Amino acid sequence: MGILQRSRKVVFTAICIAVILSQQFVTAEEIPSVVRSSFPNGFIFGTASAAYQYEGAAHEDGRGPSIWDTFSHETGKIKGNGTGDVAVDQYHRYKEDVWLMKDLNMDAYRFSISWSRIFPNGVGEVNWKGVKYYDHLVKELLEHGIEPYVTLYHWDMPQALEDSMGGWLNPAIVDAFSKYARFCFERWGSKVKHWITFNEIYTFSTGGYQTGGKAPGRCSPPYGNCAAGNSSTEPYLVSHHALLSHAHAVDIYRKEFKDFQKGEIGITTDSGWFLPLNSNSTLDKQAAEEAMDENLGRYLDPIFFGEYPASMRARLGSNLPSFTKEESALIKGSQDFVGINHYTSYYVTYNNSNGELVRTAYKDGVPIGEQTSSDWLYVYPSGMRSLLGWVRERYNNPVVYITENGRDEANKDDSLPLADQLKDPERIQYYHDYMQNVLLAIRDGSDVRGYFAWSLMDNFEWAVGYTVRFGIYYVDYLNGLARYPKSSVYWFQQILKKTSH
């Protein structure tokens, strides 16, 4: 470990010098320095995770299966046939992992609760062994001065509810989710002060019900040939029921818990930034705006205005559900903050033959930015500032947390020595540049209160399994899931040092 430690510090020093040199032609007044003291007082830094990607212990202590347990065990669904059965085993290693966060100088940890670990059947009988796990995790975080930010739903619908009622396709799911949410508020609300109802409804509704690449794997032609599904209607129905579930959960929290628990509640959305393919084309500018409506406005317009974007209503017609007057009133204003997950940007234009939106990372054969090991993730840091500006202007500058941001590299267990896999200069550059654009957005006037890096550790990355690594800490899948610091650990330790004023 001595050699590894020294090599990582050498890499870290070289990267710091490179970052400084890259800015030598820019004045300090133009570009802020990425250190804790550059951010507003009280700004929160944390890392993010999700239950199915981290916990493991899939069949232990009474946990019921989720749709991701079922989906990941279907042959050919996950690259490399990976599953979350063990994941990175945070269920048993949470104390070690909390120490890693503390060592990073992080203020907060965003994690999700596994619904089926609390209610194995989705509703009804409580699994108290599962409850105790979250009791212990929250206690451990608070004892180390790390604030828990808890997501109620990060894609892992209990399989029992999928089987009995069709999950998010059934309006009855709103009541089931509300009961689950109320239990969580009752159990942990005295200690957890930051609640997130949903993570990325856009991604689990399109991936799970339009393209079929994510659980529960439903779709129809031309998107795919799944065993069941309707790609024209189901993604919008799922989104609709999730939004109503969010609204009811927020209403429960505000009416029954917020006054004495003194917490806050919001939702996490996900969006790229979309640029017109031809910046001089009025049509392409319209396409880019429509792409923002589809990705982000679909969820934030109802929450802020009580209705879906006009462009979506015009394009989708009866395929897009509508809110009743009572539902619109309930959902409007149902946020104390907005969480935004942002990773990448794209160009947008219209398909000349059918008028549909076309997203592409290429213009005149040149990519918008460096492509990572994920086929969807291109590095375009200024997209962060632009996206935050769009949210600021459209929604009258709401409180925002960046709840996920990060990049990956390929898993090279079989071809690269461990010492080399711990060198991640591209990740350091990514975090530096995107955080710098958060600072610029704050300077522009955006009310951004926190930033969560994805992710604390390498983990199960949904449909691509363990073939890519998003972690700041390296997880050795071949040797007992040992955690090793990558170069980015030392970078975060340095920039997040707390100094007295």
Backbone angles phi, psi at 435, to 5 degrees: -65, -35
| Residue 232, token pair as written in the block | 């024209």
Q: Which residues contact 6 (CB under 8 A, 6 or more apart)?
A: none
Helix (H) or strand (E) holding 347: strand 345-350
Maximum Cα–Cα distance for the chain, whole Å?
66
Pairwise CA distance, residues 229 & 206, whole Å: 12
The strand ranges marked E within 203-344 are 264-270, 273-276, 337-341
SS3 484: strand
* 53 class by beta-carbon count within 10 Å (0-12 exposed, 13-18 middle, 19+ buried): buried
| Residue 327, token pair as written in the block | 């539902």
| Residue 389, token pair as written in the block | 């500006």
SS3 474: strand
Pairwise CA distance, residues 123 & 172, whole Å: 12
- Angle, helices 425-444/2-22, rounded to nearest 10 degrees: 40
| Residue 57, token pair as written in the block | 């212990």
- The dihedral sign for the CA sequence 112, 114, 118, 122: positive
Q: Which residues contact 393 (CB under 8 A, 6 or more apart)?
A: none
Q: Which residues are catalytic?
A: 200, 404
Nearest to 434 by CA among 360, 361, 341: 341
